Structure 1
Amino acid sequence: VIKDLITVSVFYKNIKAALRAAKTGRSAQFIESTLTETGVVSKKAMVTAALGGEEKILELLSKAVTVGGAEAAEAYKKSPGDFEKYADNRLLSTAKRCKYITIGIEPLIGYMLARKAQITDLQIIYSGVKTGQNSDKTLERLRELYG
């Protein structure tokens, strides 16, 4: 389970970094120094896709079946916020499996990830209230719950 958590976390952080690099037109050297190997998609393929632009990254993302890449690409096409939410939910759904492991550090890691998600939700609610945002809009931005 820990390996899955690390894979999902690093993979989506790589995708986010590649998308930002593609948007800002960064060099291959910069992108290569930013990304890391994930075991899902090779670093070289990710760098090439980032140099090709957002569409190439989403194409590459769609092929990453083991980490829900097709759904993530669709979420990004809707909005980058939906993509962030999908990535967080994917990590949290992987972390939910930690609850059922009785011996080891997995339950603690799952709990820490759940707390992080709760804090993110509180920040979303607070900013929605502070800006007078419609409650429906705020609710659709909230992440899944751990429980």
Structure 2
Amino acid sequence: MPKDTDFLYVSARIKYLETKLLGKNDIERILDAPGPDEALKLLNDTEYGYDIAEMENIYEFEQVLDKSMLRTIRTLKESFENHELITFFTLKNDFHNLKVIIKSMILGKDNGYLSRLAEISPEEIKKYAEGERAANIPDSLKAAYHKAMGAYELTKDPQRIDFALDQALFDEMGKIASTSRDPFLREYLTALSDLTNIKTMLRLKKIDGDIRTLDNALVNGGSLPKEFFKEMFLESSQSLIEALESTPYHQIIDEGITQWESTGSPSVFEKLIDNFMISLARRGLYKPFGSETVIGYLAARENEIKLLRIIMVGKINGISSDMIRERLRDVYV
């Protein structure tokens, strides 16, 4: 297991980079801008300014966010040797691309945005999906591809592709956490897995899904066993709230389910999950050095980009600041 002192150099760089993160007041100023152009102008003096200057139109703001995150990843990779911690966060982008490519093949048309933040070139993934077995992708992605295609061929249900790839993703994240033997990474994954499974179960309950579908959708890596979810699947919302009363997730479940049932929307529940995860990651903010600083900073950057995306999409679509504010997550700093 890496020692905290192995992270001295990268932690020092991160402590400087943390000063560049957007705080609550920064986000409020951007949110209060009258339109998307004015919101972008407020970002000119931030880390995003250089890329904003190269934009040709407002719709290229996604590229600005991607370029910023790519610089973060590159800076961290240059600063320490344990790239597994970085891969833990970037791996979801590879699996996202695999989902998009498989569904595009099945539907015969483009089916989504390919992430530029993945470790593996989407072109190589596409080559493999089209039958070029010499394509340069890791065995884990090859296995995930065949698992997803097998699930789809068995049922002809595109949702089974999502389930299969989500399970494969969490299995790979679990391998990274196990190999790294990092207690905080393990704790972070446990919470993420538990909350993912809780959200999945609630979604399936809302659409009158069945236990077989639930079993195919649950991911590994959490502290709550799969049998717990199968039992709770048939119980009332109040029973679930009571069953999780002694867990760290109690407030999320209590408030989140109440809001979901009263509004018919899972947005508050999803916001509470994100806030819980950023609160957990914030431990890195208070450690001078160690893996927590890396994990916390990566989570912080992902969260910041999500906040800016919510604001900019809202501004472009003419949504009021108050409505956008309801969707915003907590900031890291």
TM-score by length of 1: 0.83
The 8 Å contact of residues 46 and 60 in structure 1, kept in 2 or not, is answered as no
More helix by share: 1
Q: Deviations over 1:53-86 (max 9, x none)?
A: 6x34x63244323323234332232131111110
Equivalent in the alignment of 1:72? 253
> How far apart, CA to CA, are the structure 1 residues paired with 2:272 and 2:307?
14
Equivalent in the alignment of 1:130? 316
Matched, 1:91 2:277: yes
Matched, 1:59 2:243: no
1:146–1:82: structure 2 CA closer, same or farther, 3 Å change rule? Answer: same
Equivalent in the alignment of 2:326? 140
- What is the number of residues matched between the two proteins? 143
Q: Report the identity percentage.
A: 29
Q: Deviations over 1:93-115 (max 9, x none)?
A: 00001233344322111111111
- Amino acid in structure 2 at the alignment position of 1:34: A
> How far apart, CA to CA, are the structure 1 residues paired with 2:278 and 2:250?
16
Q: Shift in Å at residue 140 of structure 1?
A: 2.1
SS at match of 2:319: coil
> How far apart, CA to CA, are the structure 1 residues paired with 2:242 and 2:282?
24
1:28–1:94: structure 2 CA closer, same or farther, 3 Å change rule? Answer: same
Q: Shift in Å at residue 136 of structure 1?
A: 1.3
Superposition pairs for residues 26-65 of structure 1, below 5 Å?
A: 26-35=209-218, 36=220, 38-39=222-223, 41-50=224-233, 52=234, 55-56=236-237, 59-64=239-244, 65=246
SS at match of 1:144: coil
Q: Shift in Å at residue 37 of structure 1?
A: 5.6
The 8 Å contact of residues 128 and 138 in structure 1, kept in 2 or not, is answered as yes
SS at match of 1:67: coil
1:60–1:37: structure 2 CA closer, same or farther, 3 Å change rule? Answer: farther
> How far apart, CA to CA, are the structure 1 residues paired with 2:277 and 2:242?
17
| Structure 2 stretches lacking a partner, 5+ long | 1-183, 261-265
Q: Deviations over 1:33-61 (max 9, x none)?
A: 3213622x3311212222x26x34x6324
Larger radius of gyration: 2
The structure 1 segments of at least 4 consecutive aligned residues displaced by more than 6 Å after TM superposition are none
> How far apart, CA to CA, are the structure 1 residues paired with 2:239 and 2:252?
12
| Structure 1 stretches lacking a partner, 5+ long | none
> How far apart, CA to CA, are the structure 1 residues paired with 2:312 and 2:281?
25
Equivalent in the alignment of 1:118? 304
> How far apart, CA to CA, are the structure 1 residues paired with 2:231 and 2:249?
21
